Structure 1
């Protein structure tokens, strides 16, 4: 199962998104649930540098168990911070959409959405 954990601060801003595990919804290389989660998460993380102009704080290990951690962090530039938060929220919403149709394979823990999907 893929587990998504979203950590938020007191203002409900995302501080970290951690994704781990494999869906095991199909054979290796044919698992569309893993592919969807990877496409959403890596697509958004990889868009940060060209769109916002900085390299995000990300750890990623595709092998052993699948893992991605994005430490969103507070930016000094308020506009950039807001844009980064919007991208992070977009990732969470897109992952919820994947989880809605594949709940057997994806669990999301996010206090903003009362326990997730």
Structure 2
């Protein structure tokens, strides 16, 4: 199962997103749930990097995959921080949509969206 953990600050902003595990919804290389989670998470992190130029603090697992940790944090420029938060929230909402239709394979823990989106 893919587990998504969202850590928030006192203002309800995202501090950290950790994605771990494998969906195991299909054979390796044919698992569309895992592919969807990967595409959303990597696409949005790359957007932060390329569109905002903020060099996100991201850690990935070894070649086995199955682990991404993004420390969203604050940027010196408040506008960049705001946009980074919007992209992080977009990632969480998109992952919730996957979990909504594939709950056997994706679990999300987020204090803001405890009951779902």
TM-score (norm 2): 0.94
Greater CA deviation, 28-37 or 43-52?
43-52
The equivalent residue for 1:90 is 90
The gaps in structure 2 that reach 5 residues or longer are none
| Structure 1, unaligned runs of 5 or more | none
Paired residue secondary structure (2:4): strand
3-state SS of paired residue (1:107): strand
User: In the alignment, which residue of structure 2 is the partner of 1:43?
Assistant: 43
For the 8 Å contact 1:108–1:115, the answer to whether it is kept is no
Runs of 4 or more, structure 1, over 3 Å off, are 62-65
Aligned length: 117
Residue of structure 2 in register with 1:58 after alignment: 58
SS in 1 for 2:87: helix
Higher mean alpha-carbon deviation, 9-18 vs 47-56, is at 47-56
Deviation at 1:63, TM superposition (A): 3.5
Aligned CA distance change for structure 1 residues 65 and 47 (closer, same or farther; 3 Å): closer
| Alignment map for 1:1-117 (pairs within 5 Å) | 1-61=1-61, 63-64=63-64, 66-114=66-114, 116=116
Cα RMSD after superposing both structures = 1.4
**Is the CA contact 2:17–2:69 (under 8 Å) kept in the aligned structure 1?**
yes
Which shows bigger deviation, 103-112 or 40-49?
40-49
Output the TM-score relative to the length of structure 1: 0.94
